[in-house]
């Protein structure tokens, strides 16, 4: 990774028992001048972080999101699909207000969220999201109940519906659908198609927007993380950008 000046202090919250693995990763990648690994949320919050970034999954947002925000700490969430649960989203917003903190949603693996958010103010006519990944990225998901992933010979749409349902049913693969929906202001209005494509090696995201100020399409071909083919490398860099912006005088 090509990161500018390192952060001052990084504390990582892991599940109890995973501390040694996190220590080894920290030793291999110098992400901060100093670092700590914690196995419990109370110890983690006692370190009084300036900002917390969730990079773990929907369960972690549900388990720890409210405590972080109510404690007055901004929370950057990458498992954005967790917010398809309207009740959880409302509780996180209430906790943020009570704590004087912000729930921050970075673009993650997609782009154009700035333009979509601006276009929303001019009136959105249509927003669609298409998520296309190689079959191996859909292994272990409910796509397997709809398709024989190993037998695919051509691109196959296996889900067509709302962003809310997509985000809920594909928690490791459709966070982008939730991000687009939240930027567009409607989980139930953005139309989503999810595709398994044996002819590609990248995770492809396409957003098409028609609005009162501009029409645009954006297409990203994310390189999959070597550690997890469901996840594009872009997602991690997007969190890093958010954190580094907080340490900069100029935010871009
Ligand atoms: N917004 C976006 O564009 C994108 C969002 N995502 C989201 O990011 C999440 C993480 O992606 P990725 O890193 O590839 O996923 P992985 O499943 O590869 O890694 C998740 C890590 O988080 C840890 N973890 C999970 N739950 C907890 C918890 N409650 N407390 C502490 N640690 C926890 C896991 O630990 P352990 O091994 O102990 O389980 C594991 O080390 C995805 O599940 C997805 O929801 C992913 C891609 C794009
Ligand atoms: O990383 C990606 O390409 C997108 C992803 O998994 C998601 O939207 O959850």
Helix, coil or strand: residue 95: helix
State the DSSP H helix or E strand holding residue 170, giving kind and residue range, or none if neither: none
pLDDT given at position 6: 64
pLDDT given at position 211: 98
Please give the model's pTM, rounded to 2 decimal places: 0.97
Q: Which ligand is nearest to the CA of 107?
A: 1
State which of 175, 190, 197 you would mutate to test the pocket of ligand 2, scoring each by most atoms of that ligand within 8 A of its C-beta.
175
29 is catalytic: no
pLDDT given at position 5: 58
Take atom 28 of ligand 1 and give the residue whose Cα is closest: 60
Distance, CA of 150 to CA of 70 (rounded, Å): 46
Kindly report the number of other CB atoms within 10 A of residue 134's CB atom.
Answer: 20
Helix, coil or strand: residue 122: helix
Q: Which residue has the tokens 């966070």?
A: 175
pLDDT in tens, 195-246: 999 999 999 999 999 999 999 999 999 999 999 999 999 999 999 999 999 9
Q: Which residue has the tokens 């979509």?
A: 116
State which of 141, 174, 178 you would mutate to test the pocket of ligand 2, scoring each by most atoms of that ligand within 8 A of its C-beta.
174
Q: Which ligand is nearest to the CA of 222?
A: 2
The mean pLDDT values, 10 residues at a time, for the chain of 252 residues are: 71 96 90 91 94 98 98 98 98 98 98 98 98 98 97 98 97 98 94 98 98 98 98 97 93 95
Distance, CA of 200 to CA of 132 (rounded, Å): 9
pLDDT given at position 32: 85
Distance, CA of 163 to CA of 29 (rounded, Å): 35
Catalytic residue among 58, 64, 89, 205: 205
Report in angstroms the alpha-carbon separations of 230 from 72, 110, 233.
32, 14, 10
pLDDT given at position 29: 85
Q: Kindly write down the DSSP assignment for every residue of 15-81, as one continuous string.
A: -TT-HHHHHHHHHHS--EEEEEEESSHHHHHHT--SEEEE-S-HHHHHHHHHHHHHTT-EEEES-GG
pLDDT given at position 105: 98
pLDDT given at position 30: 80
Report in angstroms the alpha-carbon separations of 9 from 36, 45, 141, 240.
8, 14, 36, 14
Take atom 33 of ligand 1 and give the residue whose Cα is closest: 56
pLDDT given at position 230: 98
């Amino acid at each position: 990774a090509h990161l500018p000046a390192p952060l001052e202090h990084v504390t990582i919250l892991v599940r109890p028992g995973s501390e040694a693995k996190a220590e080894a990763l920290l030793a291999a990648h110098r992400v901060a001048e100093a670092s700590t690994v914690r196995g419990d949320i109370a110890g983690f919050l006692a370190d009084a972080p300036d900002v917390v970034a969730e990079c773990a999954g929907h369960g972690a947002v549900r388990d720890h999101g409210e405590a972080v925000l109510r404690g007055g700490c901004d929370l950057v969430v990458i498992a954005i699909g967790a917010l398809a649960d309207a009740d959880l989203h409302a509780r996180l917003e209430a906790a943020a207000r009570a704590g004087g903190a912000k729930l921050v949603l970075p673009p993650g693996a997609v782009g154009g969220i700035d333009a979509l958010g601006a276009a929303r103010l001019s009136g959105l006519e249509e927003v669609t999201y298409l998520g296309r990944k190689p079959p191996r990225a859909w292994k272990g998901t409910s796509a397997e109940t709809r398709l024989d992933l190993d037998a695919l010979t051509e691109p196959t749409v296996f889900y067509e519906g709302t962003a809310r349902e997509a985000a809920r049913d594909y928690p490791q693969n459709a966070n982008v659908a939730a991000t687009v929906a939240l930027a567009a202001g409607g989980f139930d209005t953005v139309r989503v198609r999810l595709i398994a494509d044996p002819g590609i090696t990248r995770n492809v995201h396409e957003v098409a927007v028609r609005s009162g100020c501009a029409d645009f399409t954006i297409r990203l071909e994310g390189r999959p993380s070597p550690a997890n083919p469901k996840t594009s490398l872009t997602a991690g860099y997007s969190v890093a950008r958010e954190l580094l912006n907080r340490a900069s005088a100029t935010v871009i």
